[in-house]
Structure 1
Amino acid sequence: MTDTLIKTAAAQPVDTTNRKAELLSKQVKHIDITSFDARPIVDAMADMSFTSRDLGRATKIYNDMLADKDCTVCLVIAGSTSAGGCMDLYAELIRNNMVDVVVATGATIVDMDFFEGLGHKHYQALEIPDDDTLRSLYIDRIYDTYIDEEALQNVDHTIFEIAETLEAKPYSSRAFIREMGKYLVEHGKKDNSLVKLAYEHDVPIFCPAFVDSSAGFGLVKHQVDRAKAGQPYMVLDAIADFRELTQIKIEAGTTGLLMIGGGVPKNFIQDTVVCAEILGHDDVAVHKYAVQITVADVRDGACSSSTLQEAASWGKVNTGIEQMVFAEAGSVMPLLASDAYHRGHWKDRAKRGWAKLFA
């Protein structure tokens, strides 16, 4: 009897279309920092202790960056906060001249922002079945957030199409991402895209590990197809990334870092000081301001192997104006960004337009 029941159950067709639609039914809503004023709560938190006090000081440092007319502000993003609801937050920083340079992971720029720029969405997981079931439905999971794999493959193919239009030569990730921004201006379906707004406002975006994202699949296909046809193909030049970002550091002088997470983007932006010195610019200043929001524990080296204080020993940051905030960034960045937006120091900032440096 048991075997009969098992065989009968196994023979029942599974309605995967409805099941997938059911799991992808609630879109992630990205927070709008302009819709609420976080200044009172941040001021109150600054008079508390522990992480609340740290956030208050970090927010003050970011406001000081914006108020410093000589300061170039670098936004550094690692992790999945864009997929989790901070995507429009980062876009607003670009839109309102609160950020001059972006250094991020490929996933942040391609799999999350460019993905939504093409009209796709992220979804809240209303339940989390086993991941084998998600795989059978072509649903990718980031913690409690879902992505439609079939939509993500559209990103792969779009990256391939962009690569196919370019001259066969080396490109920095900045140069290629600018082409992505241009594509969104012409074909995109979302105005509030970081990649699109960065293109329009001449804010350069660097991804030092760019192919560690959906871009990698599209670019590999581009190279393989061209190689099979005996034709030249475009390539990404990681050295150009480092050279260009270092050039910005040399030209900018005073710089401030607003870092979400750590990893390669954090080390990449900090190393520009050392690289400038190696190029003979002994007078290059360390990053004057630095804020890092992370949950990584420094005891096992997980915090990109260093706190901001430790980074000072390498000649990268100023120990006097830095703050670590040990918190999940999605829970504190809306407060920090809303506070800075409503204090309004950005209204008097000159636009840097660093992307024009490479025109």
Structure 2
Amino acid sequence: MTDTLNKTAGANAPINDNRKAELLSKQVKHIDIKSFDARPIVDAMADMSFTSRDLGRATNIYNQMLADKDCSIFLVIAGSTSAGGCMDLYAELVRNNMVDGIVATGATIVDMDFFEGLGHKHYQALEIPDDDTLRSLYIDRIYDTYIDEEALQNVDHTIFEIAESLEPRAYSSRAFIREMGKYLVEHGKKDNSLVKLAYEHDVPIFCPAFVDSSAGFGLVKHQVDAAKAGRPYLMIDAVADFRELTEIKIQAGTTGLLMIGGGVPKNFIQDTVVCAEILGHDDVQVHKYAVQITVADVRDGACSSSTLQEAASWGKVNTGIEQMVFAEAGSVMPLLASDAYHRGLWKDRPVHRWGAIFDK
């Protein structure tokens, strides 16, 4: 684990605490989608061209998902928008029954949301010295956003503590993240945490690459310590993730995807259609609605940049109600989410509580 490193600068010089405090002096403020009404600007953008028009149509599709009483909506997140100021935005979607399931990277769930749930913060970089200097001060950088590495190590240790407290067996990431949400209910310091709210609202969170985060450090320490002591340890079952998410897709029927970025979460949720067919559910529906906000370039053929039209060739999504938005998500998600919040179509949506089906 990273906490085994000596807290010293380059040539064994002590950390300059004053300099560190100076660099970590301005907290990132997460946007509040309830505090402004984006409907007029989104309506106006829908009558423009280029990305503005795409965003207008994408917002309309998300509102269609909310209006469709049969539709279960999955929020799919990759990238660092949570650290950059969208964390409360995602939490409000859960709080107001605007999403029914989440598929995300471990970084989004553990290193960003759970991190803040424990009381830690992200910071705006007021200046960016060379990264070796940042390393000597134990400051991690995400573009123009800073994280205190010593605070992040607290996440490593907390994951370790949670693992030590549980029955040693196989857990899906959903099951383990649920325990993280329970921990925040009892010990957390932030009410508007996505992990905490998902636990309280039975909204399942899946991280198909869960250990690619601070969870990995804590779980490795848990397994190593247990093995040394000759006792059993818990494991994260990636196959169970796929099975559970596919089970939700089978039971849900009509589904819609609101995807930020690409990567493993995007492919994971789309593959549930194919997996259901392999399990003999030939009547499973492709994802009826799909929106993806990304800056990935389609020309290199990478899966993360594959368009929703391309996904249709694999039998994953409907080509009729989909929209790609090529934009930095932090700049357009506040508009989309605020528009949907203020239109209020979520107010009479059925509550699905898909997380509860695994408690039986």
- Residue by residue, what CA displacement relative to the aligned partner does 1:237-288 show, whole Å, maximum 9, x if unpaired? 0000000000000000000000000000000000000000000000000000
Contact kept, 8 Å, 2:296 with 2:305, in 1: the verdict is no
Post-superposition offset of 1:234: 0.2
Paired residue for 1:295?
A: 295
**Cα distance in 2 for residues equivalent to 1:306 and 1:317:** 12
Seen in structure 2, the aligned counterparts of structure 1 residues 15 and 298 have a Cα distance that, compared at 3 Å, is closer
Paired residue for 1:355?
A: 355
Q: Per the alignment, in what secondary structure is the counterpart of residue 141 of structure 2?
A: strand
Q: How does 1:101-140 map to 2 (within 5 A)?
A: 101-140=101-140
Post-superposition offset of 1:301: 2.2
- Residue by residue, what CA displacement relative to the aligned partner does 1:310-354 show, whole Å, maximum 9, x if unpaired? 000100000000000000000000000000000000001011000
Paired residue for 2:5?
A: none
Q: Per the alignment, in what secondary structure is the counterpart of residue 304 of structure 2?
A: coil
Post-superposition offset of 1:306: 1.6
**2:212 pairs with 1:212:** yes
Contact kept, 8 Å, 2:249 with 2:255, in 1: the verdict is yes
Letter of the 2:157 partner, please give it. H
**Cα distance in 2 for residues equivalent to 1:306 and 1:36:** 33
**Cα distance in 2 for residues equivalent to 1:305 and 1:109:** 22
**2:60 pairs with 1:60:** yes
**Cα distance in 2 for residues equivalent to 1:130 and 1:300:** 31
Paired residue for 1:40?
A: 40
Paired residue for 2:153?
A: 153
Contact kept, 8 Å, 1:296 with 1:303, in 2: the verdict is no
Paired residue for 1:3?
A: none
Q: Structure 2 unaligned runs (5+)?
A: 1-10
Paired residue for 2:3?
A: none
Contact kept, 8 Å, 1:297 with 1:303, in 2: the verdict is no
**2:313 pairs with 1:282:** no
Q: Per the alignment, in what secondary structure is the counterpart of residue 55 of structure 2?
A: helix
**Cα distance in 2 for residues equivalent to 1:303 and 1:227:** 38
Q: Per the alignment, in what secondary structure is the counterpart of residue 219 of structure 1?
A: helix
**2:83 pairs with 1:83:** yes
**Cα distance in 2 for residues equivalent to 1:324 and 1:15:** 46
Post-superposition offset of 1:304: 1.5
- Residue by residue, what CA displacement relative to the aligned partner does 1:70-120 show, whole Å, maximum 9, x if unpaired? 000000000000000000000000000000000000000000000000000
Q: How does 1:1-359 map to 2 (within 5 A)?
A: 16-302=16-302, 304-359=304-359
Letter of the 2:87 partner, please give it. M
Contact kept, 8 Å, 1:171 with 1:235, in 2: the verdict is yes
**Cα distance in 1 for residues equivalent to 2:21 and 2:153:** 18
Q: Per the alignment, in what secondary structure is the counterpart of residue 146 of structure 1?
A: strand
**Cα distance in 2 for residues equivalent to 1:144 and 1:259:** 23
**Cα distance in 2 for residues equivalent to 1:51 and 1:302:** 22
Seen in structure 2, the aligned counterparts of structure 1 residues 212 and 14 have a Cα distance that, compared at 3 Å, is closer
Contact kept, 8 Å, 1:222 with 1:233, in 2: the verdict is yes
Q: CA RMSD in A?
A: 1.2
Q: Structure 1 unaligned runs (5+)?
A: 1-10
Letter of the 2:292 partner, please give it. Q
Looking at CA atoms only, which structure, 1 or 2, has the larger radius of gyration?
A: 1
Contact kept, 8 Å, 1:139 with 1:149, in 2: the verdict is yes
Post-superposition offset of 1:302: 3.6
Letter of the 1:195 partner, please give it. V
Q: Per the alignment, in what secondary structure is the counterpart of residue 73 of structure 1?
A: strand
Letter of the 2:341 partner, please give it. Y
Seen in structure 2, the aligned counterparts of structure 1 residues 72 and 21 have a Cα distance that, compared at 3 Å, is same
TM-score under structure 2 length normalisation: 0.96
**Cα distance in 1 for residues equivalent to 2:310 and 2:224:** 43
- Residue by residue, what CA displacement relative to the aligned partner does 1:152-198 show, whole Å, maximum 9, x if unpaired? 00000000000001111000000000000000000000000000000
Contact kept, 8 Å, 1:294 with 1:325, in 2: the verdict is yes
Aligned length: 349
